[in-house]
Amino acid sequence: MSHRHCGPRGRVEINIPEALLAMRGGPWGKWGPFEFDFGDEGRGWGRGRRGRRRMFESGELRLVLLKLIADEPRHGYDLIRAIEQLTGGEYAPSPGVVYPTLTLLQDMGLIEEAPGEGPRKPFQVTDEGRKHLEERSDEVEALLERLRDLAPREEHSAGPAIGRAVKNLMTALRHRVSRDGIDDELLHEIAAILDEAAQRIERVK
């Protein structure tokens, strides 16, 4: 089946294997036994039992991200995984909400890029950011406790983590196409990456 996308270089057509599409139970993210949402911060990835209600009110996600960065320097993807771990896989904010929130925290002077080499640097908290957390420490702890309460009491499978990984793949593809467009060379390169991932999954013991 072909899906069309209009990017800066015009309309492109991406062929998605029929078998992969057959796993999808709906237009917004149920693939086989895994379910995740393409939405705002009010939607979680994973089984979605509790994640479909709005998780954070205005400014609350900002405090959670700031606290996690104060604990240790982190990239955006690390923050998503940290929240997912806090909730036992029941909730993870979408990249489309996390990254703009990080930009806002930078603009507020509460976080900054950590020194180091490489194009992707983690964020670290500033002195102003630590002061902000101290002033709202009770609220921060209540938010973290809310996330911990989502964690299931019994052990669950890794379905939510796989759902998150598939969501990240689809997000990366969408962002790449919308930003740069796509051509045959890039399509073959992406296909090679996916083929390699499939082979590695088959070899997992």
Q: Which residues contact 101 (CB under 8 A, 6 or more apart)?
A: 61, 62, 65
Mean pLDDT, all residues of the chain:
76
- Indicate if the pLDDT at residue 204 is higher than 60: yes
pTM of the predicted model as reported, rounded to 2 decimal places: 0.54
* Confidence class for position 68, pLDDT limits 50, 70, 90: very high
- Indicate if the pLDDT at residue 127 is higher than 50: yes
pLDDT at 40 (0 to 100): 40
* Confidence class for position 126, pLDDT limits 50, 70, 90: very high
Residue 63 to residues 71, 88, 102, 187, 189, Cα–Cα distance (Å)? 12, 20, 11, 39, 39
Comparing 90 with 116, the larger pLDDT belongs to 90
Comparing 193 with 179, the larger pLDDT belongs to 193
CA distance 129 to 64: 12
pLDDT at 37 (0 to 100): 42
With CA atoms as reference, report the closest residue to 80 among 46, 117, 114.
46
Half-sphere exposure of 175 (CA within 13 A, CB side): 8
Q: What percent of the chain has pLDDT over 90?
A: 37
- Tally helices (H) and strands (E) across the chain: 8, 6
Sequence-distant contacts of 150-153: CB under 8 A, at least 24 apart: 150/50, 150/86, 150/87, 150/88, 150/90, 150/91, 151/86, 151/87, 151/88, 151/90, 152/88, 152/89, 152/90
pLDDT at 159 (0 to 100): 60
pLDDT at 157 (0 to 100): 54
| Cβ(95)–Cβ(76) below 8 Å | yes
- Indicate if the pLDDT at residue 102 is higher than 80: yes
